[in-house]
Amino acid sequence: MAIQVGDSIPSVTLKHLTDNGMQDITTDEIFKGKKVVLFSVPGAFTPTCSAKHLPGFVQQAEALKGKGVDAVVCTAVNDPFVMRAWAEKNDADGKVTMLPDGNAALATALGLTLDLSKNGLGMRGQRFALIAEDGKVTHLAVEQAGQFEVSSAEAVLAAL
């Protein structure tokens, strides 16, 4: 069952690449005591994700923080190296925290997986955006297949 407004973000440990090498990071560390915007894309460097989704949040990072958001986090079922390269390519450092979900652990725990095996892409995360306050979901917008409307940075700004 997919996560809903009012639910708590599940506790998941993921790997991310830092200047000090590969590190564990938990969703508890990311969400506890903070107001966080989390958005998910099916894959780094894919067309809509690279042309619109991530760039929109990079451009609107300050506006989101101006509305009380402590962190803007992007997740994708990609490895930490790909997510770091994608962040660098999109000037996301310091604006959007890239959260690799290489094994789809977070997408699965949220109940928001997307099977793109028929396209050779395997299991991915659905395109969505959520707002969580102290680990509780206060807003959730999951896109219909092939759409990009409700999970944009502008849509999240409007929901804040």
**Residues acting as catalytic residues:** 49
CA proximity to 78, closest of 110, 97, 100: 100
Residues linked to residue 21 through DSSP beta bridges, in sequence order: 18
CA 102 to chain centre: 13
HEC-encoded secondary structure of the chain: CCCCCCCECCCCEEEEEECCEEEEEEHHHHHCCCEEEEEECCCCCCHHHHHHHHHHHHHHHHHHHHCCCCEEEEEECCCHHHHHHHHHHCCCCCCCEEEECCCCHHHHHHCCEEECHHHCCCEEECCEEEEEECCEEEEEEECCCCCCCCCCHHHHHHHC
